Amino acid sequence: MTRYILRRLIAMPFLVLGIVTLAFLLTTVTKGDPLTAIVSDRQMNDPAAVAAAKARWGLDRSLPERYVIYVGNLLTGDMGTSFITRRPVAQDVFFRLPATMELVLAAMLVGSTIGITLGVLAAYFRNTAIDHAARFFALFGSSIPVFWLGLALLYVFSVKWGVLPGPGRLDPRATPPASITGFMTIDTLLAGNVKLFIDALWHLILPAFVLGWAVAGTISRLVRANMLEVLDREFILTARAKGAGELRVVIGHALRNTLVPTLTVIGYSFAYLLTGAVLTETIFSWPGMGSYAVEAARGLDFPAIIGVTIVGGVVFLLTNLITDIAYVIANPRVRLG
Amino acid sequence: MQQEPLFSVRDLRVSFTRQGQSFEAVRGINLHVDHGEVLGIVGESGSGKSVGMLAALGLQPKTASVSGSAKFKGRELVGMPRSELRMLRGSRIAMIFQDPLSSLNPVMTVGAQIAETIRLHNAGVSKKAAMDRAAELLSLVAIPQPDRRIHQFPHEFSGGMRQRVMIAMAVANDPDLLIADEPTTALDVTVQAQIMDVLTDLRRRLNLGLILITHDLGVLAGHADRVAVVYSGEVVEQAGVDDLFERPAHPYTRGLIASIPNMAEEKERLFSIDGAPPPLGKLPGGCAFHPRCSQVQDICRHTPPPVFADGEHTAACHFATMPIGSAA
């Protein structure tokens, strides 16, 4: 086990280098000219200004030179400076990553809980009204577009009924706490401000539910299918013959055996949401990675685009690693050499 | 009055409803078994022998309905509340199944599975104590190095060893009755004999009532006290094991006995009963066995056979060789 994890960790830097190289090369094949993002339209006709800008941003160097410089800087944690925000990309990204993380973790919590519960219920009560209702709910969640769902829920719960707050991570009138972890819920607690913590939690509910519902659909369908198979296996009969109650049979014996495929989907969904929560972040004015990526792409902000790609890639790699380790823990039949 | 047996089944019926039609898989069986006694139930697959026993313990599939009576120590099991049945299962009545490969939970250590059985029925027992007891039980079924083995998973055991684990789990709470459903069918012949020895040894030591369900009459020869032969959901013959082998009264039993391989006799081909058991819901009229019977007469085609009895020996056949041994 330790050897396996070690081997996976050793492979990581090479994979990251691959991601860096690809991300870097991809920006060079795009048609857009980054100068248009840096230099104003009027100055584009001024050769001196263009040359100065090129020199300032290193665009006068050859591609291999730029690559070597970039990788060298990256090793010191420098991801370049954003064309748009004029702040270091690393700083931007690490301000926004925790916001997305917080949202996605909450969404995964909601999605897994709903998904697993529905999947188990649907399988146990197969072909009954409970099954049909659970499947409808799951299908609805994964087929309804998040931008529609997000807007609809915002309208109903925030605008119309006023039971949940509007977009953002905190009440706009509140003073945010000092950013320590970047997780609003944790930072408010660290600041000892319980009222603000509840406000942050309250703001999380809607976006987490919108994102989580989509994931819940996938998870519940998978759990249902696996549960149906496992519930027919003989060891379920053994468990009943032992005198185990139904709850124990279903949770302790059957669900435990469906954990492996479920973990895979949860891990994958987590990584997918981290990089793909763009629409939800936009609707809920969530200052996360998704909205940053969109702004960067729109503005041909190459340093930011590469930065987001690299961080997204690394998060993906780490999630996969954690999923694989969890996989081994859940399935004793997997042997690692 | 005769004392009530440990476990008795009276006119037990199990039916399934499929697409609005009802099929009877078990059509009124009568059985009983006592402490320290081994009852063999033999029949072809699909004859209803397993489903009948499962139904007696409330383990029938959701689509099945059960009627009749199954009494354990004088308590009626059919219609007993689920929670009460659950308290009997795994503690007073234990079961083991055919395929030890799939009847153990693959993601739990065998120790944890045995300990679970113990703790389900003994609330006060600590996890540690239950694991210690699990190791003791493994040595009871002759598994070497039990202290190490309890921490292993089922896939680390061979087929025979897994069946030993199942047996250890079954006897964990010192049951009165053990129902073994084809316990040796999935195992190698040499391992089969070992498992049968473990079972009969435990029966003696723990004074268990043992019900041995099998399709192999040969297995019962050395191990059962009494045998019930089941065909199409009915007991067609029931007798003491020696009586049954020496004086089989039903043509189906005679066919089963004739099809046991015998090393002493040199035969070109093994005897086999022609045809296959009738499918559920398509039972022939009269005697269910008549389409395959070599001695079939007109009456067999339209009149269900009566049950003849000669002491403990019963047979359901118009032409049962009764009184036993009269003519075959």
The minimum CA-CA distance between A330 and chain B, rounded to whole Å, is 7
**Cβ contact (<8 Å) for B103 and A259?**
no
- What DSSP assignment string belongs to B192-206? HHHHHHHHHHHHHHH
- Mutation target to probe the B interface, by most B beta carbons within 10 A, among A232, A235, A236 is A235
Q: B177: closest CA among B214, B223, B212, B201? A: B212
DSSP annotation of A191:
T
- In a domain, residue A256? The reply is yes
State the residue for tokens 């109650």: A245
Mean pLDDT of B168-197: 89
Three-state secondary structure call for residue A278: helix
Angle at B101 between CA B95 and CA B107, to 5 degrees: 95
The answer as to whether A71 is a domain residue is no
Amino acid code (one letter) for B89: R
For the segment B178-190, the average pLDDT, to the nearest whole number, is 87
Interface probe, candidates A226, A237, A242, A331, chain B, greatest B C-beta count within 10 A: A242
What token pair was written down for A318?
A: 């780490």
Q: Which helix (H) or strand (E) holds B86?
A: helix B82-88
B59–A241 C-beta distance less than 8 A: yes
Q: What is the pLDDT of residue B328?
A: 44
All residues of chain B having their beta carbon less than 8 Å from the beta carbon of residue A252 are 116
- Using a CB-CB cut-off of 8 Å, the residues of chain B touching A234 are 97-99, 102-103
Please give the pLDDT value at position A86: 85
Number of domains in chain A: 1
Residue A57 lies in a domain: no
Nearest CA in chain A to B56: A241
For the segment B43-55, what is each residue's pLDDT rounded down to a tens digit? 888 788 889 999 9
Pick B116's closest partner by Cβ from A233, A242, A331: A242
- For residue B1, the model assigns a pLDDT of 46
Closest chain A C-alpha to B253 CA, distance in angstroms? 30
Q: Do A233 and B87 touch (CB under 8 A)?
A: no
Give me the residue from B105, B121, B155 closest to A253, CB to CB: B105
Tell me whether strands B307-310 and B313-316 are parallel, antiparallel or unpaired: antiparallel
Q: Does A76 reside within a domain?
A: no
Alpha helices in chain A (DSSP H): 2-29, 35-38, 47-57, 63-75, 89-124, 129-143, 146-153, 184-190, 194-231, 234-241, 246-247, 256-257, 259-276, 278-283, 289-298, 302-330
Unique residue bearing structure tokens 């895979």: A264
Query: Does residue A188 form part of some domain?
Result: yes
Taking each helix axis from N to C end, the angle separating A194-231 and A129-143, rounded to the nearest 10 degrees, works out to 120
Residue B262 has pLDDT above 80, yes or no: no
Q: CB atoms < 10 A from the CB of A6, how many?
A: 10
- Give a yes or no: residue A184 inside a domain: yes
User: Chain A: nearest CA to B90, how far in angstroms?
Assistant: 4
Over chain A (337 residues), the average pLDDT of each successive run of 10 is 84 91 83 71 78 79 86 88 87 89 93 95 94 92 88 92 88 83 88 90 93 91 94 93 93 90 87 80 89 86 89 88 83 66
What residues in A contact B91, CB-CB < 8 Å?
243
Amino acid at the residue A295: E
- CATH assignment of the domain containing A161: 1.10.3720.10
* pLDDT in the model for residue A231: 93
Give the pLDDT confidence score for residue A210 in this predicted structure: 92
What's the mean pLDDT when you consider all of chain B?
88
C-alpha B21 chain-centroid distance: 28
Distance of CA B134 to the CA centre of its chain: 25
Within-domain flag for A42: no
The range of the structural domain enclosing residue A270 comes to 96-290+310-330
Beta strand B209-214 pairing with B38-42: parallel
pLDDT band at B264 (very low <50, low <70, confident <90, very high): low
ipTM (interface predicted TM): 0.87
Task: Select the residue of B86, B103, B121 nearest A238 (Cβ to Cβ).
Answer: B103
Q: Please enumerate residues of A whose Cβ is less than 8 A from a Cβ of B.
A: 233-235, 237-245, 248, 252-253, 256-257, 259, 330-333
Contact B107 A245 (CB under 8 A): no
Which chain A residue's Cα is nearest to B156?
A333
The rounded distance, in Å, linking the Cα atoms of A35 and A38 is 5
Whether the Cβ atoms of residue A208 and residue A107 lie closer than 8 Å to each other: yes
pLDDT tens-digit readout, B2-20: 578 899 999 999 998 877 7
**Beta partners for B72?**
B7, B75
State which amino acid sits at residue B294: S
Work out the angle between the directed axes of helices A89-124 and A194-231 (0-180°, nearest 10): 40
The more confidently predicted of residues B324 and B134 is B134
Q: How many CB pairs (< 8 A) connect A and B? A: 72
| Residue A274, domain member (yes or no) | yes
